[in-house]
Structure 1
Amino acid sequence: TVTNKAVVTLQPNWTEVYRGETITLRCEIKDGGDTEWEYEWRTTSSEKPSDQNEHSITSVTGSHSGDYRCKGRKKHTQHSSTDWSDPIKLTVSDKPLPVLTVSSSWLSAGASVTLHCSIEDLSAGWKFYWYKTVPEPSGNFYYRAKQLPGSSSWTEQDSYIVHGQTHTARYMCRAGRGDPEYSTYDSEPKFVWSAGQFVSFCLFLNDDKQTVSSRKVN
């Protein structure tokens, strides 16, 4: 056994990994210098990494959850290898659903509202996208999402201020991270009512029934 230390790293180094994300497991030999190495992996998951120092998974699933270890062996030398690395534990969670909250659901005309998008995993790397849903021109009570104005309509902060709202609006958010970018589900929408309007809104009960209501916002 050689004295060099094998270490497994995960890139990106998220504290949580979600179904559909792209990750790379890497076996690094500390103080390996210019030595040429062959690699061997051991895992408790159903994944079987190759004999390379890197192993990429383009769309992780629950079957990839487990412990991963590796070791290195000097090329052309049958019995000169490192010890097995300490395990790195990969846990794959379901795709997250962010939760949108608003500072107020009832505004006076021209007031501002703060949107807050929360996600259970607060590790670094998330950026947040902000949407306003507006009625389709057909008038059939269907809505389409329109990105709110801003720098590419995303922020690194989990809050967004809508200044001077004058019309009742329905907002949504989602989060994304990584390259290629991985996106969460869209949040459930939130209505923010603006004073002085007579507005109609639609509640979808199932695929073929809907209830339409109207109210005056004072």
Structure 2
Amino acid sequence: MTTGAAGPSRSAPRVLIADDQALVRTGLRLILTTRGIEVVGEAADGGEAVSAARRLKPDVVLMDIRMPHMDGLEAARRVLEQDRDRDCRVIMLTTFDLDRYVYEALSLGASGFLLKDVTPQHLAAAVRLVDTGDALLAPSITRRLVERFAGGAARAPAVHRDLTALTPREREVLTLMGRGLSNAELARELGLSEATVKTHVAHVFAKLALRDRAQAVVLAYETGLVAPGGSDG
């Protein structure tokens, strides 16, 4: 799964682990360090995670959704807000597949989610993937997640962007991304080269201050460009 042109790769992502269970943190640290990924710190709750992220400046934060004192959603929001210039990536950790809170995390700018029973190989690959600037979720999976929870989200939409900045072509590209199309599928649909599509995608991200394709899918739903069930607005 790709989301377009990635930024410069880093051979050893610096990771912060935030989880209220010490055994989980220890296990994640062991998995990552044995695969050449540096763990720069740990946090036992959301407040600690925000402070540690500010101090340690990790490339990727593994953030448990359910933690005491400050949950992972609020912690992710604060980490991403305080790190706009460095572009830190947040991966949410959850026990349950398609946890409704993951939708809110994606709308806040998280780069994806992992189940806690993920294989060691998948965990390491996921960290390296988001460190390049990619989104962890395939667009089609993100779309199913958004369709499941967008209509009944407890909080107000977290992504607010002015779509008037987009050209008609860029608006069309965002709509198709919201429907779950990859860059290759966008190219076929629009009769363009993949290089041209990547340029349009990059312009959409820049104009709307989006971190990755997962957040673009959320935005397409929350602005009404795409409606649950597949009809476009």
User: TM (normalized to structure 2)?
Assistant: 0.22
Structure (1 or 2) with the larger CA radius of gyration: 1
> Which structure has greater helix proportion?
2
Higher relative strand content = 1
**Structure possessing the higher relative contact order (Cα contacts under 8 Å, 6 or more residues apart):** 2
TM superposition score normalised by structure 1: 0.23
